[in-house]
Amino acid sequence: MSSEITRRLFYGLTITFILLAVLGQLSTGIYTPFFAELAEFHGAKISLIEKSVAIFLIAFAVSQLVSGIACDYLNKPRLLQSGLLLFITGTLLVAYANSPLTFLVGRVIQGLGGGIGVSVTRALSKQLFNPQQLNVSLSLTNIAFAIAPAIAPMLGTVTGEWLGLRAIFLAVLIIALLALGLLFAFTPALQIRRTRDSLHVLRETLILLKSSLGPIVLIGTASGFLYGIVFGFVTISPSLIINVHGYSKGAFSLFSLLATLCFVLGSVVNIKLSGVSALRKFTLSGWIILGLSCITLLWITIMGTDSLRLIMSFSYLAFFLAGIAMPCSVILMLDFSDTWAGLMAALTGFFHLTGASVGAYLVVTIHQPPSYAFILTTTALSLCSVIACAFIRIQQPG
């Protein structure tokens, strides 16, 4: 019944799915320029506000994994609606929080609701669209994933400077309400093709995990650590750029945009290197990041300099290499099964976000200046990724 999806309906559904998928990134990036102001507002240390990124990512990762598996059994549109309502509830808590605890609880609820949108929209796209439409939809979603982290700080800066701290989160609320309205408008279309029922879903899932659990965990862990480097930068960059080096929030947004462009450029280069195996590109990227991390760490330690130019140059190279590595990790994970791509997509997101939460938490836990903490975190994460890669022996089931 995929042929019944008209061009207009296709793009309407795609826009709805994109909004649902990127809400988590928007809700995180939008308040990063105001870590210091939020800490002062809530009477908390800035490290607590920085840790809210890691806390959100943990909830987001768990939600994405659970919902990705559950959507094979449950009604997908209703699951999406429930997740979006949960996200809206968390956003209201964050916007009107009068204590650090309420703020953190709101972020957890946002994460639990937002994770549902990522996994379930992927499953619905596979269910509703024909192969050509699916390729276009996923490509547009990937572009949105790359752009959202760059746009969010800019949107937050403009909104916060003009309308105040609370308006930052109310802006997220407006976007979520728009997504909810579109979701309800297109709910009849989402019933065009119902989920394929299977009496053996659980059994076949367990068989897949039993036969390939080791390689799945190793690839997922290795890719998660590399993704943790990205969110280590996202978490510490406001303190590094704004508080330590005294740049404006607008300049911080531009620095973030350049990092995103480096990630996108890496993804483009990955496509151009189609003749190289995904595992080779992924492993080599990890080794280069580790080498650059060690060189930068030695330079800072011996020379005693941690100029912003040095740290940002390293960060842009790391983002470029991560842009090559991350699509490769998705391919490696999905290659384990053609039948249960939804499960593997959920596991991929879980490992990526778990690694992201580790990077975000570790970088603010190390009691060192921001630049030194970031380089130490990057070195540790890239080392762990390389070690995991050394044990990977892929023997995908047919």
351-390 pLDDT, tens digit per residue, is 888 898 899 889 988 888 889 999 999 999 999 999 999 9
Which pLDDT score, from 0 to 100, does residue 195 have?
Answer: 46
The ranges assigned to domains in the chain are 1-197, 200-398
d(CA 67, CA 59): 12
1-197: CATH architecture = Up-down Bundle (1.20)
- As a whole number, mean pLDDT of residues 154-166 equals 90
pLDDT for residue 199 is more than 80: no
Query: Which CATH number is associated with domain 200-398?
Result: 1.20.1250.20
User: Would you say 260 and 144 are in contact if contact means Cβ atoms under 8 Å apart?
Assistant: no
Tokens of 288: 């280069």
Lowest mean pLDDT among 3-7, 171-175, 328-332, 363-367: 3-7
d(CA 348, CA 344): 6
User: Would you say 354 and 61 are in contact if contact means Cβ atoms under 8 Å apart?
Assistant: yes
Give the best-scoring range by mean pLDDT among 37-46, 81-90, 150-159, 190-199: 81-90
- As a whole number, mean pLDDT of residues 179-202 equals 69
Tokens of 393: 């022996």
Which helix H or strand E contains 244, and what residues bound it? none
d(CA 397, CA 364): 41
pLDDT for residue 396 is more than 70: no
Q: pLDDT grade, residue 261 (50/70/90)?
A: confident
Which pLDDT score, from 0 to 100, does residue 337 have?
Answer: 63
In the block, which residue shows the tokens 């330079």? 299
User: Would you say 190 and 20 are in contact if contact means Cβ atoms under 8 Å apart?
Assistant: no
CA neighbor of 318 nearest in space, from 251, 366, 363: 363
Cα 348 to its chain centre, rounded Å, is 11
1-197 and 200-398 have identical folds: yes
In the block, which residue shows the tokens 């309205």? 181
- As a whole number, mean pLDDT of residues 299-319 equals 86
d(CA 125, CA 162): 38
Tokens of 369: 């200046």
pTM score: 0.75
Give the best-scoring range by mean pLDDT among 137-146, 175-184, 339-348: 175-184
Which pLDDT score, from 0 to 100, does residue 139 have?
Answer: 65
Which pLDDT score, from 0 to 100, does residue 29 have?
Answer: 86
Which pLDDT score, from 0 to 100, does residue 201 have?
Answer: 57
pLDDT for residue 313 is more than 90: yes
How much is the mean pLDDT over the chain? 84
Q: pLDDT, tens digit, for every residue of 207-219?
A: 666 767 788 889 9
- As a whole number, mean pLDDT of residues 49-54 equals 88
- As a whole number, mean pLDDT of residues 269-293 equals 89
Q: pLDDT grade, residue 120 (50/70/90)?
A: confident
Percent of the chain's residues with pLDDT above 70: 87
User: Would you say 152 and 25 are in contact if contact means Cβ atoms under 8 Å apart?
Assistant: yes
Which pLDDT score, from 0 to 100, does residue 1 have?
Answer: 40
Lowest mean pLDDT among 1-15, 131-145, 180-194, 299-313: 131-145
Which pLDDT score, from 0 to 100, does residue 175 have?
Answer: 94
